[in-house]
Amino acid sequence: MINVLIVEDSKISRENVQSRLALSQDYLVIASIENAANAEIACMKGKIDLILMDVCTADDESGLKAAARIKKHYPRIKILIMTSMPEHSFLGKARESGCDGFWYKEYGSIDLLTACDCIMRGEPVWPERTPVIRVGNADSGELTDRELEVVRELAQGCRYEEIAENLGITVNTVKYHVKNLMQKTGYRSTLQLVADVVEKRLILPKY
Amino acid sequence: MHLRFRERQHAVSAVREAIDSYPGGLVFSTMDGRPILVNKMMNDLAFVMTGRTVLDANDLWYKLLRSDHITGAVRLCKPWFSENTDDAISEDRVVYEMTDGTVWRFERHVMDEEVPSTVQIEAADFTELYSLSEKLYENNERLSMLHERQKNLLANIMQINHDKELLATKMRIHDEFGRCLVATKKSLSSHTLDEDITSLARGWEDAIRDLTNIPLAASQTENSPEAELLSVADMIGCHIEFLGEQPVGRKALLMLYAAVREALTNAVRHAGADCLIVSLTKTERGCHAEISGNGSKNVYSVREGDGLRNLRRRLEQEGGSLSIRCDGGVVLIVDIPDEEKRNERE
């Protein structure tokens, strides 16, 4: 029997995950919690084999950060990150944290139970890329990583000078990226751009 | 003698011509205001503003400073001057707008500062720079406003996203329900109900179970961070006991639970504790907490790892503090400001 911990702040999604796992005799949900910061504690006595971890959890706690801490102390525990957010950095962060898989709730082509089975067999589950969404006139895939980093900084209310300092580039380079972003998306102001990427959850600065 | 006189006259004319061709206004005077040299532009400006040419440079300057005897121009004291040190208004610098719309900046310098003997008043056409400064100021104001809106928008969007996620789940359940209806209708119309009954029943059960979750989700009360923390602590066989009154504000509460979480992890992992005591006392600014476990009492020093460092940073960012007392056992001491409490007091 595989002991599962579900970390998910939406009650309806949690119930949904539980009902999917209940279809298999192999999994036993031993706890469902809402706050990722509590997950590490739940793992301490070695009862957990698999964690299904949401990224944006209660009280703005990041599931990715919690996963990184858990993997550091308990590398044996398998972690499947699940999210409905097409945030461009989540996939990379999950890999860096040492997670075993990543599952998009809304965009995934693979069933949750199948993903869990793969992970428990030692087969990593990774989507090829972040789901492509439309940002103004452009597809999110057309925006470079650097451009998305600049948008992330803008979304946090940083000024050009602050962005330059945070990213270790010059103010002129920041302006160059912003200009390219405007050209690609067709937006006339950074406010429009930021509103769109955050609304479409391509950027979630808190996580 | 006549030649030297003519040469001197010629030199004076050359100086006057040169100073008159200077595009700004210029006056040099003695310390008591007697003009030594005034150019045409300065005389023209003084005439427009005061009704007379420069007869006393000190008198002109005091009028410019007080501006109550200036009739042909309006003194400008706009906020952006004080923000830009180069254009800052001071006792030695004033800016006027003439009736023709041009803007002039007047500056006074005492020359030969060691032994002051001459004063220079200079007027420079400031029209274009003034207009650009005004635009820059307006743009900066607009930018600040946009930044503020951007931050507010971001905060709202997070909530909207959460609502959208809930709506998406509801829609998915709605779709499942629809699929079951279509499948049942198909089975009924094709008279294959007996064969399909098992899969249909499973489909309906799943859809109904998910459907019953909707009212639960809609009536979901605010999460209790304390209940969840106590529950995970129980999972690992550790009991947490709170003594005293917990902070009122949610932010302060979350900081307290972050500290308890850190203490719990360390007490169980390093000292094998099965009970954690959180003693709380009210302070002027918020809450003072001392957190200790009942584990091993042979700890005399603690190396601050990532967890404690992050907790310290988080507390200090919010104006709180963290210290650790090691006297055999380990006590985590935290002071947490409570905004809610301060608001109540105010």
> What CATH number should be reported for the domain holding residue B300?
3.30.565.10
pLDDT in tens, A109-158: 788 999 999 999 999 899 888 888 899 999 988 999 899 999 999 888 88
- A79 and A46 belong to one structural domain: yes
Calculate mean pLDDT across residues B48-61: 90
Of A120, A144, A169, which closes a domain?
Answer: A120
CB-CB neighbors (< 8 A) of B174 in chain A: none
Given an 8 Å threshold on Cβ–Cβ distance, is B235 in contact with A45? yes
What does each C-alpha distance from B212 to A16, A103, B165, B174, B203 come to in angstroms?
Answer: 11, 25, 18, 12, 14
What pLDDT score does B321 carry?
A: 92
Q: Residue A16: CB partners within 8 Å, gap ≥ 6?
A: B169, B210, B213
Distance between B160 CA and the closest CA of chain A, angstroms: 8
Taking the CB of residue B103, how many other CB atoms lie within 10 A of it? 21
- Please give the share of chain B, as a percent, with pLDDT higher than 70: 83
- A116 and A141 belong to one structural domain: no
Calculate mean pLDDT across residues B316-343: 83
- Tell me the three state secondary structure of residue B335: strand
Amino acid letter for position B178: G
Residue-range definition of the domain harbouring residue A151: 134-199
pLDDT band at B113 (very low <50, low <70, confident <90, very high): low
Would an 8 Å CB–CB cutoff place A84 in contact with chain B? Answer: yes
Of B218, B237, B254, which closes a domain?
Answer: B218
- A76 and A102 belong to one structural domain: yes
- A66 and A110 belong to one structural domain: yes
CB-CB neighbors (< 8 A) of B149 in chain A: 191
- A93 and A17 belong to one structural domain: yes
**Greater confidence, B3 or A134?**
A134
- A97 and A64 belong to one structural domain: yes
Radius of gyration of the CA atoms of chain B, in A: 40
> What is the spatial distance between Cα B327 and Cα A86, in angstroms, rounded to a whole number?
50
Q: Maximum CA pair distance of chain A? A: 59
Asked whether the predicted pLDDT for residue B333 surpasses 90, the reply is: yes
CB-CB neighbors (< 8 A) of A3 in chain B: none
In the beta sheet, which residues pair with residue A139? Answer: A134
Is the Cβ–Cβ distance between A206 and A155 less than 8 Å? no
Calculate mean pLDDT across residues B3-32: 83
Tokens of B144: 């600040």
A-B Cβ pairs (cutoff 8 Å, strict): 111
CB-CB neighbors (< 8 A) of A42 in chain B: 232, 235-236
Indicate whether A128 belongs to any domain. Answer: no
Highest mean pLDDT among B83-92, B158-167, B255-264, B330-339: B255-264
- A82 and A147 belong to one structural domain: no
Given an 8 Å threshold on Cβ–Cβ distance, is A15 in contact with B213? yes
**Greater confidence, A165 or B192?**
A165
Average confidence score pLDDT of chain B: 82
Is the Cβ–Cβ distance between B266 and B290 less than 8 Å? no
- Residue B94 has, within 13 A of its CA and on its CB side, a CA count of 18
Would an 8 Å CB–CB cutoff place A163 in contact with chain B? Answer: no
Burial (Cβ within 10 Å: 0-12, 13-18, ≥19) of residue A197: buried
- A111 and A187 belong to one structural domain: no
What does each C-alpha distance from A139 to A202, B69, B266 come to in angstroms?
Answer: 11, 65, 46
For residue A106, give the chain B residue with the closest CA: B168
Note the Cα A137 to chain centre separation in Å. Answer: 25
> What is the spatial distance between Cα A1 and Cα A29, in angstroms, rounded to a whole number?
10
CB-CB neighbors (< 8 A) of B209 in chain A: 15, 19
- A92 and A144 belong to one structural domain: no
Of B218, B250, B279, which closes a domain?
Answer: B218
Number of structural domains in chain B = 3
> What is the spatial distance between Cα B241 and Cα A121, in angstroms, rounded to a whole number?
41
- B263 and B201 belong to one structural domain: no
> What is the spatial distance between Cα B173 and Cα B170, in angstroms, rounded to a whole number?
5
Q: Residue B75: CB partners within 8 Å, gap ≥ 6?
A: B67, B94, B95, B96
Indicate whether A126 belongs to any domain. Answer: no
